[in-house]
Amino acid sequence: MTEVNRIPQGTIPDPKKEQIKVPLTRKIFEFLSGLPMTIAAGIFLAISLALILTKTSLPIDPAWVTIAVCGYPLFYLAVWRIIYNDGLSKISSALLISIAVTAAVFIGEIFAAGEVAFIMAIGAILEDKTVERAKKGIKQLIGLAPQNGRVVREGFEEMVRIEDVIEGDILRILPGEAVPVDGRILFGNTSIDQSIITGESLPVDKGVGDEVFCGTVNLFGSVDIKAMKVGEDSSLQKLIRLVREAEDNKAPMQRIADKWASWLVPLVSLIALATYFVTGDITRSVTILVVFCPCALVLSTPAAIMAAVGQATKHGVVIKSGDALERMGKVDTVAFDKTGTLTYGSLVVSDAVPLDTAVSGKELLAVAASAEAFSEHPLGKAVAAHAKRQGIRMHPIDNFKMMPGRGISADMYGRAVLCGNVSFLRENGIDPDAAAGPLERLHSQGKATILVSLDGRCIGIIALSDTLRETAENMVREIKEADAEVVLLTGDNRQAANHFSEKVGIEAVHAELIPAQKVELIQKMQDEGRCVCMIGDGVNDAPALKAADVGVAMGSMGSDIAIEAADIALMGDDIAKIPYLKRLSNATVRLIRFNIAISMSINAVAVILSMFALLNPVTGALVHNAGSVLVVLNAALLYDRKYI
C-alpha cells in the first residue's frame, strides 16, 4: 500500500515473519484496498452517475458500495494515525477525506461521498505501482555466505557449521569452494576470485601469508588458512550488515498531501464552519469539504512518476521508485565503480611484447596461447580465446601442468614452455630482468601480464586489459557540463584506476577500496551537503548503491544483488543514459510542482464557488474529478516528450 493506504512497516509485526494473529480489521483493510475491489467500487460509482444523469432512482444508491469499499481503508487509516502517530502527523490527508465523506453522507449526497473515496483509492493504487520495491537482494546476499567449513584439528578434517568456527582455527579450502571466514594462508598457493568483496575483474594470486576474505571463491589450489575474523566480524557479514543499515537509513519520502494535511484540515474545517455560520446552509459547507479534498494533489505525483517511469522503460532504464526520480534531479556528484561500469569487465589481450628479436608478436602469441589453451585460469583463457579470434594456428602441447597462483608449464615439440609471473620464472632458473622495463610500463597502465619463456629464455610478455566503454568519455563530459562532479570509487588497484580515469577525464580517484570504505566516502560527501548518485555492477557495490542518494546498477551484466540494491537499473548497460536520467528527473519534478499548483488553484476556485452556492456536492464532486483528470492527462504528456 502507499502512504494514502499504508500502515508503516515495523509498527505492526509482519505475520509472515512472526506467528501472530492478524486482526480482522486489518484483514478487511488489506482486502478492500486491493485493485480488484477498487475496480468493483468504480463500476458501482459509474452506475450511480448514470442514474443521476438519467434521473433514475433505485431503492439503494449503488454509490453506497463504493463508499463501503473505498471508504473503509480511509477511515481505518485516519483512526490508526490518530492513535499511533505523533504530533502533527496525526492529521493526515486520510482524515480530511474521511471528514468530507462523512459530511456528504450526512446530508444525503451519496454519489459525492463515493466519488471522493474512489479517487483516493485510485491514487493509492497508482502510487503503489510506482514506489513498490523488491526486497530479494538482501536474501541473495545472505545466500552467498558459506554455511559450513572444513576445520583441520589434530590432523583430521571435520566439516562443521560456520557458527562453530572460532578464531585461530585452521581451515582447509579445496578448489571451487567458497572461503568460509576471513583468514591468512598458512599453506598452499592458489588464485582467488574476490570480486564479491573488491569488485576486481581479475582473480588474485595468493600464497602463504596472504589474506583471504569470507565469501570469495578458491579457484584452483588447495590451501590451509588460519581463521582471523569469524561470524559477524567477517567481510561478507559486514557487507550484508552494510546493505541492511543503508536500507534502514533511507527513509521513504513523505507524501506531499500528508505534509500539507496538517494545515489543510484545520483551514478547510474553519472555512466550512465559517460558511455555515454566515449562511446557515450546511450544503455549502459540505461542498467545500468535498471540493477541497486533495485528490488531484495526491494524483499529481504518482501520475507524473508513472509517465516518467514508462518513458525511461522505453529507453531501457528501469526506475524502481518515484523517490529515486526526485533525488536524481538534485544529484550534484556522480560516483562510478570502474570494472563493469566504466569498462566492460572482460579481459582482452592488449599487447604482445617480444623480448627476443628472433620472435615476432604473432609467434609469441602462438606459443603462449598453445600452452594456455589447457589452462582454467581466466588470464590463460583470455589469451587462448584471443588467438582463436585472430586465426593464429595453435601448436600441439604435451605434459601440461598448472601451478596454482604461479603459472603453467608444458612441452611444445619437445621444447619447454613456461607462462607465469616473475617469481615463477625465477623459481625455474630463468632470468626475467630483460622484462623489467616493459613490465613497469604495462603495469602503470593497469594491465595484467604473463611472462612467456621458451627453452629457458624469457621471450616476451602478453598483456591483458579491461576495455573502456566507448561512451564513457562523452558521458563524463556531459555530466560535468551539467555542473555535477564525477568521482571514481573502485576496489581495483591504483594503477588501473588512474589509467582509466585519465582516459575518461575523472580527476577524483579512490582506488583499492573495500565496500565499507566506499560507503564511508559516500557518507562523507553527503555530510558535506552533496547529493550523491552511485553507479556500479557488482555485489561489492550493493552497500554503496544503498547508501547513496540514488543507486544505479548495470542491469544486464550486473549482479542480481546490485540490481536489487539500486534504485535504477540500466538494462542495456548503457552509461550514456545517465545524463538522460538527470534531464528526465528534472522535468518530472518540475511537472509535479506545476500539477500541484494547478490542483490547488482549482480547489481554491471551487471553494469560492461553493461558498456562493454556485456548486453543490454533486457538481462540486464532478469539478473536483475534472481537476484530477486534468492532472493525470498533463502528467501523461511526459511519456512522449524527448529527453534523450
8 A C-beta contact, residue 218 and residue 177? yes
Q: Which residues pair with 429 in a beta bridge?
A: none
Report the alpha-carbon distance of residue 396 to residue 410 in Å, rounded: 10
HEC-encoded secondary structure of 401-423 = EEECCCEEEEEECCEEEEEECHH
* Max CA pair span of the chain: 111
Q: Is 191 helix (H, G, I), strand (E, B) or coil?
A: strand
Which residue among the candidates 205, 258, 337, 541 is catalytic per the annotation? 337
HEC-encoded secondary structure of 51-80 = HHHCCCCCCCCCHHHHHHHHHHHHHHHHHH
Q: Is 156 exposed, middle or buried (0-12, 13-18, 19+ CB in 10 A)?
A: exposed
Q: Are strands 182-187 and 223-229 parallel, antiparallel or unpaired?
A: antiparallel
HEC-encoded secondary structure of 504-557 = HCCCEEECCCCHHHHHHHHHHHHHCCCCEEEEECCHHHHHHHHHCCEEEEECCC
* Residue 190: its H or E element: strand 190-193
Q: Is 448 helix (H, G, I), strand (E, B) or coil?
A: strand
At how many degrees (to 10) do helices 577-611 and 282-291 cross? 180
Residues 6+ apart with CB under 8 A from 255: 2, 3, 4, 93, 298, 301
8 A C-beta contact, residue 491 and residue 512? yes
Report the alpha-carbon distance of residue 175 to residue 225 in Å, rounded: 14
Q: How many CB atoms are closer than 10 A to CB 269?
A: 16
Report the alpha-carbon distance of residue 145 to residue 148 in Å, rounded: 9
Q: Is 398 exposed, middle or buried (0-12, 13-18, 19+ CB in 10 A)?
A: exposed
Report the alpha-carbon distance of residue 578 to residue 565 in Å, rounded: 18
Write out the three cell numbers for 607. Answer: 471553494
Active site residue 337: yes
Report the alpha-carbon distance of residue 246 to residue 243 in Å, rounded: 5
The residues carrying an active-site annotation are: 337
